[in-house]
């Protein structure tokens, strides 16, 4: 165990009283290595905390009330049904502090999905969130207990007279650390107000800097000056990188103001994002404000935004193809041998209820053999599954923006969206899809009065119909059931990489590959303006050349079971709507 004897045996005023302290800072104060302190906290069963910074998810009043699968993993649909969607900025406790501490010991970062609030309340994150070591805190009393226990074991002979000399009673942290008291009472917006009063800006510069300060305040929830550190600056840069290049235009176009929602829009629509140079400019102007906080304001000892560097840097860039990984053959085999693929249906209880949905079967299958993006597939109308009217009678998907039906009652905004105009295209159905019975299912849905291929999916205002499907596939199936690492490398989008790789191996013309994937057709005017897309019957021979061994064992789709599952979904939505209506009535009566 690495330790500093003098620090270990000397009580530090920064650990006096209650409250939390950063784990790396605590280790430095008591003279232990970070790893040693993590081990001590783990062995003592200490709970650790972090700070939610505008995290999106579901507030659950009683985590114990959430249904679980047979493997004891939580059912995400039940979380969304019983929880309340919100954005959280508050201190939170690790769901399993032991697991979090073990992860920090192993990799220096933990990936959190569920966090504890007070009592049995919990916060279920929209997606697993990596939390670095520097963002984790431990109770000061627990750290002091670790120091005291280890100090008691130090032989008296090795303790210097200075270290053990009696002294006055410990003063509170404020007496030893005046800047801490001053900064704890001020937020970033207040610091910026002070800074603005000390500058003689023209009108344009004042407006520009106010915009910069507003960006940081909104994205980071106007933090206390005391909490602004290097990790927060890095997180600020990461959030800037998810914003569209032109915030003003995007707000006007989509009629959305909050920056977190603009991030979701930019991600869904693949809008141009802020580049590294722009991000460095934003952080540079933040550094100007924080520099004032160091001197003359005296609210910070150091400027955490000074010397900012982020990501790969200027000389090392990630390749586009490395953003996601394709599924390996054994991973595809795991996915397509799930019970609903092996039997054509999910399981039903004796009373006829089920948590299985038809989208569990069709979305992965269609993604693999068409290369469709999640939201493109999730929003499909029945009329988008077509059969050519020539003698070839080819079945195909028409990815379009036609609005052939009314919006769902629980929806608002456009019923369809595509990444770009180039995403409008046709893709023939692979024989595996036809053999599985998609045309028959489409016909049955028509007869049942449905208009969309996946009526069980509820449209999210920002993420579209793909949000519930993505939550199920990425977190529940891949993460909890198949135990694939949730590091962003393997997601639903990985099917698109499998499809693109399979098409490329056929040595088809690049323009045809671009059409099938919904990319821009060629780099010249001849390719983009004059050459026309191939029709479904022309593309069919290419699709039929694709071979997917993982699909060899799937059973035909059980249409009648699917219709029963849709009825279960409808009943669940009705119960949720009644519950929300009752809550609104109750809230109105209380007010």
Classify residue 177: in a domain, yes or no.
no
Residue 53 lies in a domain: yes
pLDDT tier at 173 (50, 70, 90 boundaries)? very low
Give 408-434 pLDDT, tens digit per residue: 434 444 455 654 556 789 999 999 999
pLDDT, residue 586, reads 54
Q: Can you tell me the distance from the alpha carbon of 109 to that of 136, in angstroms, rounded to the nearest whole number?
A: 10
| Residue 467, domain member (yes or no) | yes
Residue 137 and residue 198 in one domain: no
Q: What mean pLDDT comes out for the span 498-503?
A: 93
In a domain, 313, yes or no: no
| Mean pLDDT of the region 250-276 | 84
Q: Which range is least confidently modeled, 138-142, 176-180, 210-214, 230-234?
A: 176-180
What secondary structure, in 3-state letters, does 317-363 show? CCCHHHCCCCCCHHHHHHHCCCHHHHHCCCCCCCCCCCCCCCHHHHH
Same domain for 230 and 131: no
The region, left, alpha or beta by phi > 0 then psi within -120 to 50, assigned to residue 467 is: alpha
Q: How many domains, in total, are found in the chain?
A: 3
Domain containing 239: what range?
Answer: 183-294
In this prediction, residue 385 carries a pLDDT of 96
Does residue 169 form part of some domain? no
What is the rounded average pLDDT of the residues 41-58?
A: 87
Q: What is the pLDDT of residue 392?
A: 83
Q: Are residues 138 and 197 in the same domain?
A: no
pLDDT of amino acid 585: 52
Question: What is the percent of the chain where pLDDT is above 70?
Answer: 81
What number is the average pLDDT over the span 524-547? 77
Is pLDDT above 60 for 405?
A: no
Q: What is the CATH number of the domain that holds 503?
A: 1.10.443
359-386 pLDDT per residue, tens: 999 999 999 999 999 989 999 999 999 9
Find the range with the poorest average confidence among 389-398, 486-495, 544-553: 486-495
**What CA–CA distances, in Å, run from 5 to 12, 15, 23, 148?**
13, 17, 19, 12
Confidence of residue 55 (pLDDT cuts 50, 70, 90): confident
Query: What does the block give as tokens for 170?
Result: 């410990």
- Do 467 and 409 reside in the same domain of the chain? yes
3-state helix, strand, coil in the chain (%, to 5): 50, 10, 35
Q: Do 503 and 372 have their domain in common?
A: yes
Q: Give this prediction's pTM.
A: 0.51
Regarding whether 333 and 425 lie in a shared domain, the answer is yes
Are 343 and 408 members of one domain?
Answer: yes
As a whole number, the mean pLDDT across the chain is 81
Return the structure tokens found at 104.
Answer: 């920090």
pLDDT tier, 345 (very low <50, low <70, confident <90, very high otherwise): very high
Q: What are phi and psi of 389, to 5 degrees?
A: -95, 10
Residues 205 and 126 occupy one common structural domain = no
Query: Do residues 62 and 109 both lie within one domain?
Result: yes
- Same domain for 188 and 135, yes or no, is no
Residue of higher predicted confidence among 75 and 152: 152
Residue 245 domain-assigned (yes or no): yes
Q: Is residue 139 part of a domain?
A: yes
- Using alpha carbons, select from 183, 479, 447, 482 the residue that is nearest to residue 334: 482
pLDDT bracket for residue 473 (50, 70, 90): very high
Looking at the fold, whether 155 and 222 belong to one and the same domain comes out as no
Cα–Cα distances in Å, from 113 out to 122, 127, 375?
10, 7, 23
As given in the structure block, the two tokens for residue 502 are 């399979």
pLDDT digits (tens, 9 = 90+) for 560-578: 999 999 999 998 888 877 8
- 12 and 89 assigned to the same domain: yes
Q: Is 488 helix (H, G, I), strand (E, B) or coil?
A: coil
């Amino acid at each position: 165990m690495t330790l500093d004897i003098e620090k270990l045996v000397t009580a530090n005023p920064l650990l006096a009283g209650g409250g939390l302290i950063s784990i790396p800072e605590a280790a430095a104060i008591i003279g232990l290595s970070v790893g040693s302190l993590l081990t001590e906290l783990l062995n003592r069963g200490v709970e650790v905390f972090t700070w939610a910074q505008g995290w999106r998810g579901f507030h659950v009043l009683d985590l114990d009330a959430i249904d679980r699968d047979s493997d004891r993993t939580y059912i995400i649909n039940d979380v969304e049904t019983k929880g309340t969607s919100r954005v959280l900025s508050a201190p939170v406790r690790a769901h399993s502090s032991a697991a979090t501490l073990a992860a920090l010991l192993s990799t220096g970062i933990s990936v959190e999905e569920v966090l504890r609030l007070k009592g049995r309340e919990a916060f279920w994150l929209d997606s697993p969130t990596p939390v670095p070591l520097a963002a984790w805190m431990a109770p000061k009393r627990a750290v002091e207990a670790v120091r005291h226990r280890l100090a008691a074991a130090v032989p008296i002979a090795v303790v210097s007279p200075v270290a053990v000399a009696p002294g006055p009673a410990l003063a509170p942290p404020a007496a030893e650390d005046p800047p801490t008291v001053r900064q704890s009472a001020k937020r970033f917006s207040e610091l910026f107000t002070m800074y603005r009063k000390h500058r003689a800006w023209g009108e344009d510069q004042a407006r520009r800097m106010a915009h910069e300060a507003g960006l940081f305040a909104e994205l980071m929830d106007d933090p206390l000056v005391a909490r602004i550190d290097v990790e927060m600056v890095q997180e600020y840069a990461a959030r800037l990188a998810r914003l569209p290049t032109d915030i003003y235009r995007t707000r006007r176009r989509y009629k959305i103001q909050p920056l977190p929602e603009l991030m979701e829009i930019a991600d869904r629509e693949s809008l141009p994002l802020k580049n590294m140079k722009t991000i460095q400019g934003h952080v540079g102007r933040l550094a100007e404000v924080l520099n004032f906080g160091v001197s003359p304001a005296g609210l910070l000892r150091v400027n955490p935004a000074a010397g900012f560097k982020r990501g790969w840097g200027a000389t090392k860039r990630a390749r586009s193809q490395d953003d996601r990984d394709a599924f390996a053959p054994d991973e595809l085999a795991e996915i397509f041998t799930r019970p609903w693929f092996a039997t054509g249906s999910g399981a039903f209880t004796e009373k006829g209820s089920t948590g299985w949905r038809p989208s569990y079967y069709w979305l992965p299958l269609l993604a693999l053999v068409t290369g469709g993006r999640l939201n493109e597939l999730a929003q499909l109308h029945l009329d988008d599954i077509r059969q050519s009217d020539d003698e070839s009678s080819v079945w195909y998907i028409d990815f379009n923006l036609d609005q052939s039906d009314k919006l769902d009652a629980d929806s608002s905004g456009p019923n369809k969206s595509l990444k770009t105009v180039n995403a409008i295209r046709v893709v023939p159905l692979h024989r595996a899809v036809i053999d599985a019975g998609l045309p028959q299912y489409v016909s049955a849905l028509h007869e049942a009065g449905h208009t969309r291929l996946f009526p069980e999916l509820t449209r999210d205002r920002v993420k579209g119909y793909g949000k519930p499907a993505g939550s199920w596939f990425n977190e529940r199936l891949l993460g909890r059931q198949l135990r694939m690492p949730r590091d962003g490398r393997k997601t639903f989008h990985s099917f698109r990489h499998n499809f693109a790789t399979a098409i490329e191996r056929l040595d088809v013309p690049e323009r045809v590959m671009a059409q099938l994937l919904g990319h821009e057709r060629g780099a010249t005017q001849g390719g983009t303006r004059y050459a026309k897309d191939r029709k479904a019957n022309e593309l069919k021979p290419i699709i039929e050349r694709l071979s997917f061994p993982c699909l060899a064992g799937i059973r035909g789709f059980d249409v009648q079971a699917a219709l029963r599952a849709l009825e279960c979904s409808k009943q669940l939505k009705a119960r949720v709507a009644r519950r929300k209506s009752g809550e609104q009535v109750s809230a109105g009566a209380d007010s």
